[in-house]
């Protein structure tokens, strides 16, 4: 694997002066990119637009959203995204053997560490010599997707199915709603994005049935289905996971309407209706009533995991046992997050106008999981601002965190990193033990939750170093009495 480093430009638009840190080298100040080592791949804080316009989006440079999340979001999750009104939440000398003298140094060291370890995990699953271009999800997709001619079992989706896919994909545009800020001081940022257990979430999504063939236009069948009782419709949806239906909402429960409306983008007043996947409609029927207008169906479905298996491309280490063992590693979570996102982009070398049928179904499944998590927080009185794409965006209460952190854990979400001393170790151990949901995360993820609640960034980095590439020991098979 090539040498990696991180560049923090002073001004994204000028992208000349800044700070750099590479593996095995001291922190340095540069006055231009010509001073950067040519044998190193550099992750940067440049936006997508700036990276493209600057000409730095090439062999040596990677933009700030390389891991599908802006570098500032990663820093915020690790407690070091310093802003005008928000100090960092960890001591600078508490990690990396005291090498960081300031918050700027700490952000550089963390970014360099995240880049290095996440690429090591990626290479362990899909051997690489250099970090892929563009972004990690795109690079993974180029490795695991066959070309267009070998993608489908019989033929590509016809136009009627493609149109429904495109409409369903457009629904996946969750827009955070505006909220009034509470008065008073807080040890946390004004808004926080709480991620799911990204390893478990990806593992679940990789088992979702997605369409690969047997395309049908349901025509009159939907009108017949519309006259059936809800129980019949739900059973039909479960038995036909490759279906897309155009629906309009008749009513929604008062409790869930604020969650459904801005998270799933189901506007009750949309006269033309919305195209929803089967998994999305079945989940929303817990809270809403719909009229069904038309539908399309893929009779042949396959999970992304089985898809990889069938192509002979399933990574050797992609097993539940290994995923569970590596669950305390933050870089491993980033890799798994990018793995499921890789299935949502364009199919390599696809003809113009063709669509990836996986995207709408995986994104809607992600959205419905996050809707349930957001609903738990909403019922507990925590202000939900948005959800989807692997996380729930909240406005953290200004009250004592002891009053609401347990609700975050019970929703199966990772808590924010709190300043050390906010909780006693006994409190954290009790909360982590008592408020874990039955499903939604690997049990070992509790170690990562504990690090975040204790403000122990040093232990979080240690777990990433020790467990990112961990392989559970294979127990020898005992000989029987018969040999």
pLDDT in tens, 296-331: 999 999 999 999 998 888 888 899 999 999 999 999
> Quick one: residue 75, left, alpha or beta (phi over 0 = left, psi -120 to 50 = alpha)?
alpha
Res 313: pLDDT: 83
Q: Is the pLDDT of residue 476 over 50?
A: no
What's the whole-number mean pLDDT along residues 334-362? 92
Q: What pTM was computed for the model?
A: 0.92
- Among the ranges given (97-111, 191-205, 265-279, 404-418), the one the predictor scored with the smallest mean pLDDT: 265-279
Asked whether the beta carbons of 273 and 281 are under 8 A apart, the reply is no
Distance, in Å, from the CA atom of 23 to the CA atom of 42, rounded to the nearest integer, reads 11
- Number of neighbours of residue 175 by Cβ within 10 angstroms: 10
> Sorting pLDDT into bands at 50, 70 and 90, what band is 254?
confident
C-alpha distances in Å from residue 239, one per residue of 16, 204, 234, 282: 57, 18, 9, 11
> Sorting pLDDT into bands at 50, 70 and 90, what band is 262?
low
Asked whether the beta carbons of 408 and 401 are under 8 A apart, the reply is no
Res 477: pLDDT: 39
Res 243: pLDDT: 97
Distance, in Å, from the CA atom of 389 to the CA atom of 367, rounded to the nearest integer, reads 7
Res 311: pLDDT: 83
Distance, in Å, from the CA atom of 40 to the CA atom of 5, rounded to the nearest integer, reads 7
Distance, in Å, from the CA atom of 119 to the CA atom of 127, rounded to the nearest integer, reads 10
Distance, in Å, from the CA atom of 293 to the CA atom of 313, rounded to the nearest integer, reads 39
Of 357, 350, 347, 337, nearest in space to 65 by CA: 337
- Among the ranges given (35-49, 51-65, 234-248, 265-279), the one the predictor scored with the smallest mean pLDDT: 265-279
Give 205 or 273, the one with higher predicted confidence: 205
As a whole number, the mean pLDDT across the chain is 88
Helix (H, G, I), strand (E, B) or coil at 430: helix
Asked whether the beta carbons of 199 and 317 are under 8 A apart, the reply is no
> Sorting pLDDT into bands at 50, 70 and 90, what band is 56?
confident
> Sorting pLDDT into bands at 50, 70 and 90, what band is 95?
very high
At 200-251, the pLDDT tens digits run: 999 999 999 999 999 999 988 898 999 999 999 999 999 999 999 999 888 8
> Quick one: residue 86, left, alpha or beta (phi over 0 = left, psi -120 to 50 = alpha)?
beta
Q: Is the pLDDT of residue 348 over 80?
A: yes
Res 24: pLDDT: 85
Within 13 Å, how many C-alpha atoms sit on residue 355's CB side?
20
At 8-29, the pLDDT tens digits run: 999 888 888 999 999 889 999 9
């Amino acid at each position: 694997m090539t040498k990696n480093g991180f560049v923090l430009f002073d001004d994204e638009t000028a992208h000349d002066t800044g700070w750099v840190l590479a593996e095995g080298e001291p922190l340095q100040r540069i006055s231009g990119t010509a001073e950067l080592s040519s044998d190193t791949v550099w992750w940067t804080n440049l936006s997508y637009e700036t990276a493209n316009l600057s000409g730095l989006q090439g062999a040596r440079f990677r933009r700030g959203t390389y891991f599908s999340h802006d570098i500032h979001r990663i820093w915020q999750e690790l407690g070091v995204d310093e802003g005008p009104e928000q100090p960092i939440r960890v001591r600078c000398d508490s990690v990396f053997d005291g090498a960081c003298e300031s918050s700027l140094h700490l952000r550089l060291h963390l970014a360099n560490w995240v880049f290095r370890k996440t690429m090591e995990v990626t290479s362990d699953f899909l051997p690489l010599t250099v970090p892929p271009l563009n972004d990690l999800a795109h690079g993974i997709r180029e490795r695991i997707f066959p070309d267009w001619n070998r993608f489908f079992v019989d033929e590509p989706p016809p136009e009627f199915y493609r149109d429904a896919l495109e409409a369903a994909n457009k629904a996946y545009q969750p827009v955070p709603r505006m909220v009034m800020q509470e008065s008073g001081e807080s040890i946390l940022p004004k808004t926080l994005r709480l991620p799911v257990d990204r390893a478990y979430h990806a593992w679940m999504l990789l088992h979702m049935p997605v369409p690969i063939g047997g395309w049908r236009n349901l025509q009159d069948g939907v009108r017949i289905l519309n006259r059936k009782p809800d129980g019949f419709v739900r059973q039909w949806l479960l038995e036909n996971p490759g279906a897309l239906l155009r629906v309009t909402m008749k009513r929604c429960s008062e409790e869930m309407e604020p969650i459904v409306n801005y998270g799933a983008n189901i506007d009750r007043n949309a006269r033309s209706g919305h195209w929803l996947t089967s998994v999305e409609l079945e989940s929303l029927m817990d809270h809403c009533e719909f009229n069904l207008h038309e539908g399309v169906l893929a009779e042949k479905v396959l999970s992304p995991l089985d898809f990889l298996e069938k192509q002979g491309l399933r990574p050797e280490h992609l097993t539940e046992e290994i995923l569970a063992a590596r669950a305390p590693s933050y870089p491993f979570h980033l890799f798994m997050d990018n793995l499921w996102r890789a299935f949502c982009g364009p199919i390599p070398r696809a003809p113009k106008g063709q669509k990836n049928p996986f995207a709408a179904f995986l994104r809607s499944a992600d959205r419905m999981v996050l809707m349930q998590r957001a609903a738990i927080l909403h019922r507990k009185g925590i202000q939900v601002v948005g959800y989807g794409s692997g996380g729930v965006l909240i406005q953290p209460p200004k009250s004592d965190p002891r009053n609401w952190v347990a609700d975050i854990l019970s929703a199966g979400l990772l808590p924010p990193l709190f300043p050390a001393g906010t909780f006693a170790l006994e409190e954290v151990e009790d909360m982590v033990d008592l408020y874990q949901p039955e499903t939604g995360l690997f049990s070992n993820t509790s170690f990562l939750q504990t690090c975040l609640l204790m403000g122990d960034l040093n232990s979080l980095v240690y777990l990433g170093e020790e467990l990112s590439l961990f392989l559970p020991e294979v127990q020898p098979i005992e000989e029987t009495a018969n040999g």
